[in-house]
């Protein structure tokens, strides 16, 4: 905002950090350990993982970023991670059949 007012070019101080293999494996391990494969399409699990991820890796990732990474980049390539065939099928089945719980209160009332 200040940059627009002063008519100057501002640069973001942060840059994107690529996910490491360790981060990906950490996400998979957490989901398996806590048996939450059927919840991966919702939001609450990712809000739960977010602080854990920061503590273990020291890298700040939003819960939305963690969710997108899992759904788009990890889940289709589970064979590249340290999981058994049975675990991989459980994770895939959980994502395919998982349900998203509906909000109990209207969005306007929740604020």
Could you tell me the residue ranges of all domains in the chain?
21-95
- The CA distance from 94 to 74, in Å, is 14
Average pLDDT over residues 87-94: 94
The pLDDT, as a whole number, for residue 9 is 61
Residue 108 has pLDDT above 80, yes or no: no
The pLDDT, as a whole number, for residue 97 is 85
pTM for this model (two decimals): 0.74
Average pLDDT over residues 14-22: 88
DSSP one-letter string for 62-94:
-HHHHHHIIIIIIGGGGGGSS--HHHHHHHHHH
Yes or no: say if 37 and 91 are a contact pair by the CB < 8 Å rule.
yes
Mean pLDDT, the chain, integer: 86
The pLDDT, as a whole number, for residue 10 is 59
């Amino acid at each position: 905002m200040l940059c627009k007012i002063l008519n100057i070019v501002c640069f973001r101080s942060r840059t994107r950090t690529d996910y490491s293999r360790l981060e990906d494996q950490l996400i998979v391990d957490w989901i398996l350990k806590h048996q939450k494969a059927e919840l991966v399409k919702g939001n609450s699990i990712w809000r739960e993982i977010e602080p854990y991820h920061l503590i273990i890796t020291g890298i700040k990732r939003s819960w939305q970023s963690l969710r997108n990474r899992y759904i788009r980049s990890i889940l289709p390539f589970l064979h590249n991670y340290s999981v058994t065939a049975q675990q991989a099928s459980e994770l895939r089945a959980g994502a395919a059949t998982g349900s998203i719980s509906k909000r109990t209160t209207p969005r306007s009332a929740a604020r």
